[in-house]
Structure 1
Amino acid sequence: MLDLTTSNLTSRYSWETLDQDQDALRFLESTVLPPYLNTCRWFAGKARQQEKFRIAVMHNLALRSDVDTIAFLAVVEVGYTDGETERYLLPLSFLETAQPGSAEVPPKGILTTAEFDQKGGLLVDAIYDERFRLALYANLAGEQVIPQKAGQVRFHRGRGLAEEDAEATVVSRVLPVDSSNSALVFGVPHQPEKYFLKLYRKLFQETNPEVELVSFLTEKSQFSHIPAFAGSIVWEQENTPDITLGMMQLMVENQKDSWSQTGDYLNDFLYAVPNRLFTIREDVFDRVELLGRRTAQMHLALYSPESNDLAFAPEAFTDDYRAFIIRRLEDLLERRYTMVIDNYTKLDPLAQRLAWVFMEAKEMIDEFIDDFRKRPLESLRTRIHGDYHLGQVLATNDDFIIIDFEGEPESSITDRKIKHSPLKDVAGMIRSYHYAVSAKLFGSTETENIDPNHLQRVSERWFNLIRDTYMNAYLETIGNPHPLYKNSNEFNFLLLVYLLEKAVYELGYEISYRPAWVKIPLKGIMDVIQEIEKIRTADPNRASDVPRLQMGLLETKKE
């Protein structure tokens, strides 16, 4: 029986029967899991009022060792006083005191000391047990299906896992990076770090969109600028959507992401600004052009009009889809207007002027949204990256690798799978470039004594050149016309919709966490508003009582 007087887990039964030991499970739920999960970087419920922890499911996975044993894939349900229950994947392993490797487990991997059937040791997160890591790899390579009490765990193997590596001697380690998931690395002879396995900690009642997109691009297209799909781990149950537990890909050479690289490129520009010089290295344009081409190639690969997979078949701009985007945008706008009013006095003078024009343009924005609701659109929607920015693109020596296809972290899994115009990705990258230059100029000591209005103009010149370079390369690669975009008018109109949505979303984050950066998304909103104004004035048939944009509010004394 359990010794409840200490935090040590003590059971007279063997480790392999933990899933049947109700006393031990209750002890874990009440005493061990609450403090442990709250120390884990991947546990998202720290700020919520937790009500209960329950081990809902215990899948077992055989481990090959001198003495055969098992690990458990525990699914932990966390209930809260308010809101939905969450589920987390917590692999569990028992390392006896004399077990090789027990001394190498970091403190963050130890749940508690434990004793099973008079054998003492550590109850650990199984990712820190090499036997568990090797079992994951072997099952993926062998495409195993393991029956469980609740359905089955299926290991899919992808094209990215080489035939010669299926039976290879494998080495493994846990990446030390703390994030919302856990990362394991596997090496084979002559290549010590070849495969990367991501275990998804927070579980959703659907297949992870990243697995769907990466496997589709690897198996069904020739697009090679992603880490190739090598396999996935899925929990299958009858009459229930599959739940993704993990995905393996080819390891990518550890290079800077494009946000960091762009920051490096901007240094030359930054150092020239105080001397009133405008400097952009030629290779910066080359890299931006290449990223524009790679973005277009990704979208062409995801455009699959002949696909038998409905999840990837292109769709029209339906009324339901427009209503979804409009609800999201109107809700964002309403909350942002309130936030701007409540925080107006905290903004710097430049941000205040931009905020004032944003507020004055409310009717114009409303009219633009109504245009989106009613306007005939023949462009198409497809699956897209969904959270596309410079931080999601790794810069290799002479090319790019696009990563992290999970979608917007704040969105539900269902919403992440909604098909959008690929211009949503394009808008995300454009906004990322705008952030890169603005953050560099407004946040550096080299420019802290320069008039903010001058910095605004200088940053806009750099941004406009980079944006146009990126867009020209994108359009040239996509081809004109292309079924994804009916014509240039629809292209420009839809791009404004997604740019507005992105910048309005960013505004809320900056007001809450970085007030000094509020001017960045406000300027992005301003750019969209000015383009909307051009559309209105260029249409001789438009009858509107909406007042013109009050650009005079932005005027300041000339330098």
Structure 2
Amino acid sequence: MSSANYQSNKAWEEIQSDAGFQEFLCKDRLVDYLYQSRWFGGKSSRILQVIVSKSMPLYNGGNLYNMMILEVFFQESYAHNYFLPLALVALDSDISEAAKLAEVELAGKKYLLIDALYDQGFHQAMFKLLQQNQILKEGDNKVYFKAIGDLGLAKEFSSKLLNAEQSNSTIIINEFFYLKIFRRLFRDKNPDFELNEFLAKQKYFKNFPNLSGLIWWEPSPGFDISLGLMQEKLENEGDAWTWMLREVESFFAQADEQELKPLLWSAIYPLKLKKLPTYLLQNPGQEFFKHIETLAKRTAEMHIALASNSRDRNFVVSNYNSDFTVWLKNRLIFQFDARYNLLNNKLPDLPEEAQKLAKKVLSRKDQIINFILGFDEEKLRSFRIRIHGDYHLGQILKQGKDFYILDYEGEPESTIRDRKVKQSPLKDVAGLLRSFHYALHATQVKLGTEKAKLRAEQGKSLYHAISGVFLNTYFKEAFKNQLDIGYRKEITYLLHYFLLEKAIYELGYELNGRPDWAIIPLQGILEITDEIKKI
């Protein structure tokens, strides 16, 4: 916490609109606090100014909380909006250092000024407002709290702020609800808010956490800013990523080097479970592949549900057109150019094996650009729909023999508008195939260099089998329910396109955060471009 202090002879209730207090917050304290907060998305930029664009008081018993929307202006000529509620607590309160903004002295008494999302009283206040379907009003400024179903009346209130998330803040309430508060705000519905609201109204797809409440801010008529959503806590055994890593490690531990057979299929072609080689039916076994079939079925059901509305313009299916093609090409070329330059700059710092792969990727620049620019909407007959947008094994919970899909906020690097663009459901499918690929290679990295060549062949065999079984079930469900994902050549083309897009995205993430892992997307890019060359 900064040593910055504030003194006033006024009480907490009196200083909310005080010019001196606003100046203390915006000039002396908020800049430092934002940079130290995990959820702040502008750490790589320089803040020029912070202002409080909107505020709303919230009372719980005798306690006042000040909910604020901050507008943050950056030197690079752009701005973000963030949600920060404030609370005042006793100076000796047992509270996380991450919550503390400053010490303040008001009306002769000293307090801690904190982020109210660390305060249980604020949690309780929000939950009560949800239970009562309340609207907070101050002129045209309104904050809506809407319950979905009966939230019940617990004898005792309990809450806990989780600290695992980067971009949002999530609170467990009464050990039964997850209340997710969005930190970065947009003058539009957050995709997670919007898609959960949509899915709660349909009957076909059930494998997502039940929606229990929505919170949004209406700063002026016609503008809705999503603040948060509440869902029922879903009993589970952990995410599908952890499950997959465990299964893959077990596979390598039991794999018999004598049983490896040459591959006869591609990773993007459907494969019936009964057509798998005997050695894969034994290890990792039929039960594992039945789980993959279930995951494929749930994925298809999600897409079928998202394509089911014929009235809401935000969800009605769309065809491919020239506007979409221009948007897609420009977006991916910009991303590839940025990754290509980053890879060039980071090349000397990469491990030896990663350097070899990186040089091969760099040498394929023209092939990759030509493939990206070759996207031709006139050859595509399938539909575009709203999709998950950031679909991978970490966004899926495993419950017994079933799977539940969550976190519909979209790709973190994308703008809010880009996340809402309707795309082929095969983009989500490609994201999951890349996640399978990641799990296999991450396990190989963990197991070290001993038997590395053998494990690479075994891993490739398993990856193609997982992908083939997944696609076979997904295609069957899609076709059976009239989800138009295209004809055979179109499916192959779109899968290659989205697999390459995802691997390029991953490369930037790893080069910036985990250079030792860059080998995984580099291998992915090479494998995908090898397959493209064969067509």
Asked whether the two chains share a fold, i.e. TM above 0.5, the reply is yes
Once the two structures are superposed, the pairs formed by residues 362-401 of structure 1 within 5 Å of their partners are 362-373=365-376, 375-401=378-404
Q: Does 1:136 align with 2:126?
A: yes
Q: After the TM superposition, list the runs of 4 or more consecutive aligned residues in structure 1 that deviate by more than 6 angstroms.
A: none
Give the root-mean-square deviation of aligned CA atoms: 2.6
Q: CA deviation at 1:360?
A: 5.2
Q: Secondary structure of 1:428's partner?
A: helix
Q: Does 1:162 align with 2:150?
A: yes
Give the distance between the partners of 1:428 and 1:396, measured in 2 at CA.
Answer: 21
Q: Secondary structure of 1:372's partner?
A: coil
Q: Normalized against structure 1, the TM-score is what?
A: 0.84
Q: 1:457 to 1:346 in 2, by over 3 A?
A: farther
- 1:477 partner amino acid: E
Which of 4, 9, 15 is residue 7 of structure 1 equivalent to?
A: 4
User: What does residue 548 of structure 1 align with?
Assistant: none
- 1:407 partner amino acid: G
Q: How many residues align?
A: 511
CA distances 1:304-333 after superposition (whole Å, capped 9, x unpaired): 242x21111111111111111111222233
Q: 1:94 to 1:462 in 2, by over 3 A?
A: same
Q: Does 1:235 align with 2:217?
A: yes
Q: CA deviation at 1:500?
A: 1.4
| Range with bigger deviation, 322-331 or 368-377 | 368-377
Which of 333, 342, 352 is residue 336 of structure 2 equivalent to?
A: 333
User: What does residue 176 of structure 2 align with?
Assistant: 194
User: What does residue 162 of structure 2 align with?
Assistant: 175
Give the distance between the partners of 1:119 and 1:353, measured in 2 at CA.
Answer: 64
User: What does residue 449 of structure 1 align with?
Assistant: 450
Give the distance between the partners of 2:170 and 2:429, measured in 1 at CA.
Answer: 29
Q: Does 1:526 align with 2:523?
A: no
Q: CA deviation at 1:453?
A: 4.2
CA distances 1:237-269 after superposition (whole Å, capped 9, x unpaired): 335531111111111225321111111011222
Q: Does 1:253 align with 2:235?
A: yes
Q: CA deviation at 1:366?
A: 4.4
Q: Does 1:464 align with 2:461?
A: no
Contact 1:16 1:69 survives alignment (8 Å): no
Q: CA deviation at 1:119?
A: 4.0
Q: Secondary structure of 1:386's partner?
A: coil
Q: 1:11 to 1:178 in 2, by over 3 A?
A: farther
Q: Secondary structure of 2:476's partner?
A: helix
User: What does residue 290 of structure 2 align with?
Assistant: 286
Q: Secondary structure of 2:88's partner?
A: strand
Give the distance between the partners of 1:334 and 1:214, measured in 2 at CA.
Answer: 34
Contact 1:235 1:245 survives alignment (8 Å): yes
Q: Normalized against structure 2, the TM-score is what?
A: 0.88
Q: Matched residues, percent identical?
A: 33
Q: CA deviation at 1:399?
A: 1.5
Contact 1:59 1:149 survives alignment (8 Å): no
Q: CA deviation at 1:443?
A: 3.0
Q: Secondary structure of 1:311's partner?
A: coil
Q: 1:487 to 1:481 in 2, by over 3 A?
A: farther
User: What does residue 26 of structure 1 align with?
Assistant: 23
Contact 1:292 1:474 survives alignment (8 Å): yes
Give the distance between the partners of 2:165 and 2:370, measured in 1 at CA.
Answer: 45
Which of 215, 219, 235 is residue 197 of structure 2 equivalent to?
A: 215
Contact 1:57 1:150 survives alignment (8 Å): no
Q: Secondary structure of 1:471's partner?
A: helix
CA distances 1:125-148 after superposition (whole Å, capped 9, x unpaired): 212333221110111122111112
What residue ranges of structure 2 are gaps of 5+ in the alignment?
261-282
Q: 1:150 to 1:177 in 2, by over 3 A?
A: farther
- 2:484 partner amino acid: L
Give the distance between the partners of 1:398 and 1:525, measured in 2 at CA.
Answer: 32
Report which of the two structures shows the higher radius of gyration computed on alpha carbons.
1
Give the distance between the partners of 1:30 and 1:515, measured in 2 at CA.
Answer: 37
Give the distance between the partners of 2:304 and 2:251, measured in 1 at CA.
Answer: 34
With a CA cutoff of 8 Å and minimum separation of 6, indicate the structure with the bigger relative contact order: 2
User: What does residue 95 of structure 1 align with?
Assistant: 89
Give the distance between the partners of 2:88 and 2:15, measured in 1 at CA.
Answer: 10
Q: Secondary structure of 2:36's partner?
A: coil
Which of 432, 435, 442 is residue 435 of structure 2 equivalent to?
A: 432
Give the distance between the partners of 1:35 and 1:336, measured in 2 at CA.
Answer: 30
| Range with bigger deviation, 425-434 or 108-117 | 108-117
Once the two structures are superposed, the pairs formed by residues 273-352 of structure 1 within 5 Å of their partners are 279-306=283-310, 308-342=311-345
- 2:237 partner amino acid: Q
CA distances 1:490-527 after superposition (whole Å, capped 9, x unpaired): 22221111111111222333344444444432332233
Contact 2:140 2:220 survives alignment (8 Å): no
Q: 1:183 to 1:338 in 2, by over 3 A?
A: closer
Q: Does 1:415 align with 2:397?
A: no
Q: CA deviation at 1:35?
A: 2.9
User: What does residue 114 of structure 1 align with?
Assistant: 104
Once the two structures are superposed, the pairs formed by residues 488-527 of structure 1 within 5 Å of their partners are 488-527=488-527
CA distances 1:180-233 after superposition (whole Å, capped 9, x unpaired): 21111211xxxxx11111111122222111000011111223322111111111
Give the distance between the partners of 2:110 and 2:343, measured in 1 at CA.
Answer: 59
Q: CA deviation at 1:390?
A: 0.7
CA distances 1:38-92 after superposition (whole Å, capped 9, x unpaired): 33211233332222332222211121x2xx3421101222222223122221111
What residue ranges of structure 1 are gaps of 5+ in the alignment?
1-5, 188-192, 536-559
Which of 71, 75, 79 is residue 81 of structure 1 equivalent to?
A: 75
Q: CA deviation at 1:169?
A: 5.0
Give the distance between the partners of 1:510 and 1:433, measured in 2 at CA.
Answer: 17
